[in-house]
């Protein structure tokens, strides 16, 4: 088995994509800690230890090894406790899947600071906290695999600046970890998934899309693609591949993974520059005259200004 003698922590492993990854790793012999406090979709309250216990029990029932930790990644010390639990129970910490997630969408002018804080704490601060505690073990043993769950939202999104920022932050964490830990045999990569889970495709989301279809705001093709989206089982095999020895040299990358498709994002590189001879200070007139030609050929404004009446109608 591919992950015999490997121990994994999967945050948010009680449901959705995390659970599918935990099961896939366990099927290949990994011993798994399911770290999940059973939160509701928006991070409030929830079901406590039940979902994590149930997910761990399902793995054990299938012949695997798993334990539950009903801890929150938003609690820095709880992250330390969970890493130690993995070490104590299974002897090592080899694989870390930073997957825990909650949603609190609103336009920026309506978003309470609490919604910013909980989303950033779960997706991004939690990723830092888990790596902070796991990295010493991985570094000492000179082997480790870290996957930080991203999202297409890292490229810019409407109505979820907290989520998009946290996912963008996760990709930056991935890139930094690849550089800090790579030489110790530890890789870090990001997966931007698309899969039907309670986060993406509950009844309210389906109903919202049906209304948008009826109002002519989305095409039938787009509607069909959303409501028939494949499940988390399409994400798990690629995550397992990234955790394997076969992927030892894949580091600091972001992948798009969805039903029947795996893609890789560009490296973010400067694509053009304007240089002032002698490094003198640019004048406003020079910038206004030269920037469009030198830097912005082929560029499209993602959201050009609209007449006031159109903009108000879209809210």
What amino acid positions are annotated as catalytic residues? Answer: 163
CA 276 to mean position of chain CA atoms: 40
Q: Is 23 in the site for ligand NAD (CB under 6 A)?
A: no
Of the residues 86, 149, 177, 239, which one makes contact with ligand NAD according to CB under 6 A:
149
Q: Is 134 in the site for ligand NAD (CB under 6 A)?
A: no
Taking the complex as a whole, the smallest distance from the CB of residue 11 to ligand NAD amounts, in Å, to 5
Q: Which stretch binds ligand NAD (CB under 6 A): 24-32, 97-105, 129-137, 299-307?
A: 97-105
Q: Is 244 in the site for ligand NAD (CB under 6 A)?
A: no
Q: Is 38 in the site for ligand NAD (CB under 6 A)?
A: yes
Q: Is 79 in the site for ligand NAD (CB under 6 A)?
A: no
Taking the complex as a whole, the smallest distance from the CB of residue 215 to ligand NAD amounts, in Å, to 24
Q: Strand 261-264 vs strand 254-258: parallel, antiparallel, or unpaired? A: antiparallel
Q: Which stretch binds ligand NAD (CB under 6 A): 30-38, 210-218, 244-252, 295-303?
A: 30-38
Taking the complex as a whole, the smallest distance from the CB of residue 204 to ligand NAD amounts, in Å, to 14
By CB under 6 A, name the binding residues for ligand NAD. 11-12, 14-18, 35-39, 41, 43, 51, 72-74, 99-102, 122-123, 149, 151, 193-195, 197-200, 232
């Amino acid at each position: 088995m591919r992950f015999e003698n490997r121990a994994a922590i999967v945050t948010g492993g009680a449901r959705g994509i995390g659970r599918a990854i935990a099961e896939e790793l366990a099927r290949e012999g990994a011993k798994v800690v399911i770290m999940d406090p059973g939160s509701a979709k928006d991070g409030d309250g929830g079901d406590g230890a039940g979902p994590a216990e149930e997910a761990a029990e399902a793995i054990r029932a299938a012949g695997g090894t798993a334990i539950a930790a009903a801890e929150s990644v938003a609690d820095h010390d709880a992250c330390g406790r969970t890493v130690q639990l993995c070490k104590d129970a299974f002897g090592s910490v080899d694989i870390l899947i930073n997957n825990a997630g909650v949603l609190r969408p609103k336009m920026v002018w309506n978003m309470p600071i609490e919604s910013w804080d909980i989303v950033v704490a779960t997706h991004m601060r939690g990723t830092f906290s888990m790596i902070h505690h796991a990295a010493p073990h991985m570094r000492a043993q000179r082997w480790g695999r870290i996957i930080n769950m991203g999202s297409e939202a890292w490229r810019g999104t409407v109505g979820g600046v907290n989520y998009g920022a946290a996912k963008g932050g996760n990709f930056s964490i991935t890139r930094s970890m690849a550089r800090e830990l790579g030489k110790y045999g530890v890789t870090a990569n990001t997966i931007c998934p698309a899969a039907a889970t309670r986060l993406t495709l509950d009844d309210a989301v389906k109903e919202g899309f049906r209304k948008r279809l009826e109002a002519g705001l989305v095409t039938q093709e787009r509607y069909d693609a959303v409501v028939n989206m494949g499940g988390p089982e399409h994400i798990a095999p690629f995550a397992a591949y990234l955790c394997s020895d076969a992927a030892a040299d894949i580091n600091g990358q972001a992948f798009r993974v969805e039903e029947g498709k795996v893609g890789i994002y560009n490296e973010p590189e400067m694509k053009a520059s304007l240089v002032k001879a002698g490094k003198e200070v640019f004048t406003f007139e020079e910038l206004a005259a030269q920037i469009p030609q030198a830097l912005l050929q082929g560029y499209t404004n993602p959201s050009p200004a609209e007449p006031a009446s159109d903009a108000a109608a879209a809210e």
